[in-house]
Amino acid sequence: MFLSLLRRRNPRLIDAAVALHRSGELPPNTYVIDLDAVERNTGVVAAEASRLGLTAFAMTKQIGRNPDASRAIRAGGITHSVGVDLECAVAAAAGGLASGHVGHLVQIPRHRAREAAALRPRYWTVFSEEKAREAGAAASAAGYVQGVLLRIVGEGDRFYAGHEGGFDAASVVEAARRVDALPGVRFAGVTNFPATLFDQAAGDIVSTPNLATLTRAKRALEEAGFRDVELNAPGTTSTAALERLAEAGATQVEPGHGLTGTTPLHAVRDLEEEPAIAYVSEVSHLWNDRAYVFGGGLYVDPVLGSAATDALIIGPDDAAASVTARPVEMPAPQAIDYYATIPVPQGAARPGDTVVFGFRPQVFVTRALTAGIRGLDSGEPRLAGLWSADGSKPLTIADAIQGTEDAR
Question: Residue 407: is its pLDDT beyond 80?
Answer: yes
Class of residue 344 by CB neighbours under 10 A (exposed 0-12, middle 13-18, buried 19+): middle
- Whole-number pLDDT of residue 172: 98
In sequence order, what are the beta bridge partners of 282?
354
Question: Residue 91: is its pLDDT beyond 80?
Answer: yes
- Whole-number pLDDT of residue 133: 98
The pLDDT tens digits for 24-36 are 999 999 999 999 9
The rounded mean pLDDT for the chain is 96
Mean pLDDT over 73-93 rounds to 98
- CATH 3.20.20.10 for domain 79-254, yes or no, is yes
Of 254, 260, 265, 233, the closest CA to residue 78 belongs to 254
Of 377, 379, 370, 314, the closest CA to residue 33 belongs to 370
- Whole-number pLDDT of residue 287: 98
- What is the spatial distance between Cα 373 and Cα 9, in angstroms, rounded to a whole number? 16
- What is the spatial distance between Cα 217 and Cα 372, in angstroms, rounded to a whole number? 41
CATH of 2-30+272-400 among 3.40.50.620, 2.40.37.30, 2.60.40.10, 3.90.1300.10: 2.40.37.30
The pLDDT tens digits for 358-397 are 999 999 999 999 999 999 988 899 999 999 999 999 989 9
Find out whether 39 and 376 touch, Cβ atoms under 8 Å: no
The pLDDT tens digits for 307-344 are 799 999 999 999 999 999 999 999 998 999 999 999 99
- State the span(s) of the chain assigned CATH 2.40.37.30: 2-30+272-400
Mean pLDDT over 171-178 rounds to 98
- Give the confidence band of 111 by pLDDT, cuts at 50, 70, 90: very high
* Residue 283 main-chain phi, psi, to 5 deg: -70, 125
- Give the confidence band of 191 by pLDDT, cuts at 50, 70, 90: very high
Please name the helix (run of DSSP H) or strand (run of DSSP E) that holds residue 56, with its range, or none.
strand 55-56
Question: Residue 304: is its pLDDT beyond 90?
Answer: no
Find out whether 68 and 372 touch, Cβ atoms under 8 Å: yes
- Whole-number pLDDT of residue 307: 79
The pLDDT tens digits for 7-51 are 999 999 999 999 999 999 999 999 999 999 999 999 999 999 999
Residue 90: count other Cβ atoms within 10 Å of its Cβ: 20
Find out whether 185 and 226 touch, Cβ atoms under 8 Å: no
Sign, CA dihedral 151-156-160-165, equals positive
Mean pLDDT over 53-69 rounds to 97
Mean pLDDT over 174-188 rounds to 98
Q: Could you give the C-alpha distances from 44 to 41, 47, 68, 151, 242, in angstroms and in order? A: 5, 5, 19, 29, 11
